[in-house]
Amino acid sequence: MPHLRLLTAPAAHEWLARHRLAVSEQGPFLEVALPARTAELDRELCAIGADWAWLDEDIAPSWRAFRLFVTDMDSTLIAIECIDEIADLAGLKPEVARITEAAMQGELDFREALNARVALLAGIPVARLEELYRERVRLNPGAARLVAALKENGCHCVLVSGGFTFFTERLARELGFDEAHANVLEAKDGLLTGRLVGPVIDAAAKAGILRTAAQRLGAARREILAAGDGANDLAMLALAGTRLAWRPKPRILPHVNVVSMAQGLDAVLELLP
């Protein structure tokens, strides 16, 4: 029988009362035993803006048990999709954003969608990317606190993105990540060419990076925390015992066991004390 743990909040209390569920533990969080985890329950919890964890057999007993943290960047660690914002510099954001959303929902092949979007960026000055980073890149709630807590506890932190090294390298330096992996935008004479350089970081590559890091560290499944938001993260998430999402897309929701709709990514610190 799975246990559901929710951070204490008025909406959580109201939801439990409405369903006449008996709370077995109270304090910073509320815990209840349920017959099964269902898609309907997950949707209800999203709708009330809850922060919750399903205490399944995979999940870590405490966040202090994590030895490896691997996270996506766009719409997970930060609030934007960088490629959409780059396209906005050329007045192409709506067109590119539609492709991005379809790819994240798993409706398009990631590589094809990425190459199609990158091609539309040809001619944009590289100097504009620095401006974009300063003015538009904002961390999602709780991101900095989560990384700082994990680093202080000795956890190896990896940023892996289907986005671009221009952004991951800067974020990694600012937040103290141990590694950062992403796609490389080709530039010539100070302008983006609309092409990528080197291997593409897709779903398989993300999973491979996590697997390699886990093997190097000797980290077991229950010692791994992974965070993501889209179809491109599913293979990576499947390798982690604790799978975290901030306001997840419907496609990703059944595949994660810690979800924050209100507090932020650092809710995992309270849910798994």
The whole-angstrom separation of Cα 272 and Cα 58 is 13
Predicted structure pTM score: 0.95
* Each residue's pLDDT tens digit, 68-86: 999 999 999 999 999 999 9
Residue 135 has pLDDT above 80, yes or no: yes
The CATH T-level fold of domain 1-55 is Alpha-Beta Plaits (3.30.70)
Mean pLDDT of the chain: 95
3-21 mean pLDDT: 93
Name 71's bridge partners.
Answer: 159, 227
Please tell me the predicted confidence (pLDDT) of residue 146.
99
What residues contact residue 177 under an 8 Å CB cut-off, 6+ apart? 147, 157, 158, 159, 171
Locate 149 and state its tokens.
């807590």
Task: Give the pLDDT band (50/70/90) at residue 64.
Answer: very high
Catalytic residue at 51? no
Q: What is the dihedral of CA 187, 191, 193, 195, to 10 degrees?
A: 50
* Each residue's pLDDT tens digit, 179-230: 999 999 999 999 999 999 999 999 999 999 999 999 999 999 999 999 999 8
* Each residue's pLDDT tens digit, 237-259: 999 999 999 999 899 999 999 99
Residue 1 has pLDDT above 90, yes or no: no
Catalytic residue at 189? no
Ranges of each domain in the chain: 1-55
The whole-angstrom separation of Cα 268 and Cα 250 is 20
Q: Please identify which of the residues 42, 51, 72, 266 carries the catalytic annotation.
A: 72
Residue 133 has pLDDT above 80, yes or no: yes
Task: Give the pLDDT band (50/70/90) at residue 104.
Answer: confident
Q: How many residues does the chain have?
A: 273
Q: Please identify which of the residues 42, 51, 74, 266 carries the catalytic annotation.
A: 74
Please tell me the predicted confidence (pLDDT) of residue 24.
82
Please tell me the predicted confidence (pLDDT) of residue 123.
96
Kindly report the number of other CB atoms within 10 A of residue 109's CB atom. 12
* Each residue's pLDDT tens digit, 105-115: 888 888 988 99
> Could you tell me whether strands 179-188 and 156-164 are parallel, antiparallel, or unpaired per DSSP bridges?
parallel
Please tell me the predicted confidence (pLDDT) of residue 115.
93
The whole-angstrom separation of Cα 258 and Cα 238 is 13
Three-state SS letters, 206-244: HHHHHHHHHHHHCCCHHHEEEECCCHHHHHHHCCCCEEE
Please tell me the predicted confidence (pLDDT) of residue 36.
94
Residue 25 has pLDDT above 80, yes or no: no
Please tell me the predicted confidence (pLDDT) of residue 2.
85
